[in-house]
Every structure is written in structure tokens, then in C-alpha cells.
């Protein structure tokens, strides 16, 4: 008899239903709002999108890495395995934490739009 974790099944179904609603919230105006203030304060719609992105599973999650502290930042992905180093992706660098966070936001938006 196979043991099935109902929590995972419920989460997958919840994600499937929520994804189109979050996708519909993403507009050029919302992206511009995030670019202007990546750390907030955020409108209700932007806060909903940000919360959705924060709930993503650890493996493959984007993070910001300071390659030269307070000077240069790059985007990396987490492996989801404790102790494994994050993997830098691409060659793009960002001059500040805020611009790097917006770069992550844009990647997450692109991934969301490509999903399904």
C-alpha cells in the first residue's frame, strides 16, 4: 500500500488554482511599482504577488548574492540541499541590492508567465 501525503496533494491543487489569479495581477504598472520600491511599501496586489513568490519551494528558488559586498550582486538558485552552495546563474550583475531584488522579481514573473 502506497502512503500518500495529502498535504502535498492539497498544496499542488492550491497552487494550480492560485497561479492564474496571481498571473492576472501582474501588469506593467505593478512591475514599475516594484522597480520603484522593491523593499516596499507595496500595494495590496504587489504584496499578494510577493507573498506568492515567497512561498515557492526551496529547490531552484532565486536568491541575491553579494559578489562584491555593497558593490556588485548576482542572482543564484538554491539547491534545496542543506550545505550545498547556491549556484550563480547568468552573467548579469547589479549595482545595488534593490536593483538585484528587482532582477529576481522579473525572473519570477517570467517563470510564472511561462508556467502551464
Q: Is the pLDDT of residue 116 over 70?
A: no
Q: Which DSSP symbol is given to 38? A: T
Average pLDDT estimate for 73-101: 95
What is the reported pTM?
0.88
Are the beta carbons of 45 and 30 closer than 8 angstroms?
yes
Are the beta carbons of 77 and 86 closer than 8 angstroms?
yes
Domain limits, the chain: 6-114
Amino acid at each position: 500500500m502506497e502512503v500518500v501525503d495529502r498535504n502535498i496533494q492539497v498544496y499542488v491543487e492550491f497552487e494550480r488554482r492560485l497561479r492564474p489569479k496571481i498571473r492576472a495581477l501582474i501588469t506593467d504598472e505593478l512591475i514599475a511599482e516594484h522597480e520603484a520600491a522593491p523593499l516596499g511599501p507595496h500595494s495590496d496586489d504587489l504584496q499578494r504577488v510577493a507573498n506568492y513568490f515567497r512561498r515557492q519551494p526551496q529547490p531552484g528558488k532565486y536568491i541575491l548574492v553579494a559578489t562584491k559586498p555593497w558593490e556588485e550582486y548576482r542572482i543564484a538558485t538554491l539547491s534545496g540541499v542543506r550545505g550545498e552552495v547556491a549556484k550563480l546563474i547568468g552573467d548579469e550583475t547589479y549595482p545595488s541590492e534593490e536593483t538585484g531584488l528587482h532582477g529576481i522579481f522579473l525572473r519570477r514573473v517570467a517563470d510564472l508567465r511561462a508556467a502551464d
